Amino acid sequence: MPSATVAPSPVHASHPAPSGRRPRKAPAQRITNNVTGYAFLIGAVLCFALFSWYPMVRGVVMSFQRTRRGVTTWVGWDNYERIFQDPSFWTAWKNTAYFTVLALVLGYAVPFVVAIIFNELRHARGYLRVLVYLPVMLPPASALFLFKYYAYDPSEAGLFNAILKFLHLPTSQWMQSTSMAVPAMVLASTWMNMGGAVLIYLAALQNIPGSLYEAAELDGAGLFKRIRHVTIPQTKLILSLMAMLQVVATMQLFIEPLILANGAGTQDSATSVAYLIYQHGFFQNDLNGAAALGVIMLVVLGGFSAAYVRLSSKQD
């Protein structure tokens, strides 16, 4: 509700505003004057309303309902209780958290290091940028099938196993192994997605004034000190934003288990929360349970994003 201090009044509207402030206009007039803006806005609002907000609200509603014989009834917390009792529930959260942490270590740090290396290069930077970005242009499903059939083949014919054998190291069952399934998914995911992050980091690095590095060098700072005292502080904003985006994206891990493990993997070792939603909804004919799990995930990710926004605004 607008506060009294900002509410437009006829007196204010009819008098010249103090310098630096535009006079408030009547709502109808504001709409008329901004009709072009509203017209452009309506498309985006409609798209968000139809494809984002409505499904979210519908999901919340569905999570408290059950449909039998085409008849929908309210069932309170039943769906949530059932989801919490699912033996795969905690495994899925554990796998998703493990994937997120590993992806933060590998998928977050590696692109930053690669970007720093590219930034230091004087030659072939453009070619290398294209090279790193190429996997992003591959459809994710195709990229994952490459990993599944060539890299992660559990026999000795698989690319990674052939390399390990050549190096006289023990081979792995990759996606068929309970211990290697998540790391293998992180590796494939990092390869697929790091190109975009590298370009973003590179753009941020190139915005750092060269004079800061020169001053650091004059003060006798070596490479690591320059990174620590110049590069990281100067890219802090983009680093923290990318961290949040990375966490939100990796928590929604889905296509990797679906393609690399044909689903849940060995003893649920590849099951993610998003995959469990899919399994309940589309394999177990439990769309209401899937909606409940979706709401739980929404709450967790929403809570994380809110905490991030709060922390980052405090830091600013």
**Residues lying near other proteins in the complex (CB under 8 A):** 35-36, 39-40, 42-43, 46, 50, 66-71, 75, 78, 82, 85-88, 153-155, 157, 173, 175-178, 261-268, 278-279, 281-287, 289
Q: Judged by CB, which is closer to other proteins: 40, or 127? A: 40
Q: Report, in angstroms and rounded to the nearest whole number, the Rg of the chain calculated over CA atoms.
A: 26
Alpha carbon 192 to chain centroid, angstroms: 14
Compute the distance between CA of residue 177 and CA of residue 183 in angstroms, rounded to an integer: 10
Q: Least distance from C-beta 294 to other proteins, angstroms?
A: 14
Are 238 and 216 contacting, i.e. CB atoms less than 8 angstroms apart? Answer: no
Q: Least distance from C-beta 84 to other proteins, angstroms?
A: 11
Compute the distance between CA of residue 65 and CA of residue 269 in angstroms, rounded to an integer: 30
Q: How many helices (H) and strands (E) does the chain have?
A: 18, 2
Q: Judged by CB, which is closer to other proteins: 107, or 289? A: 289
Q: Least distance from C-beta 177 to other proteins, angstroms?
A: 8
Sign of the alpha-carbon dihedral angle for 235, 102, 59, 80: negative
Q: Judged by CB, which is closer to other proteins: 34, or 207? A: 34
Are 92 and 289 contacting, i.e. CB atoms less than 8 angstroms apart? Answer: no
Q: Judged by CB, which is closer to other proteins: 84, or 237? A: 84
DSSP 68: E
Q: Judged by CB, which is closer to other proteins: 177, or 312? A: 177
In one-letter notation, the amino acid at residue 28 is A
Q: Least distance from C-beta 56 to other proteins, angstroms?
A: 17
Under 8 Å CB-to-CB from 96, ≥6 apart: which residues? Answer: 250, 251, 253, 272, 273, 274
Instruction: Identify which of 275, 239, 262 has the alpha carbon closest to the alpha carbon of residue 96.
Output: 275
Tell me the angle at which helices 181-206 and 236-251 cross, rounded to the nearest 10 degrees.
150
Q: Least distance from C-beta 133 to other proteins, angstroms?
A: 31
Q: Judged by CB, which is closer to other proteins: 50, or 243? A: 50
Q: Least distance from C-beta 272 to other proteins, angstroms?
A: 15
Q: Judged by CB, which is closer to other proteins: 45, or 134? A: 45
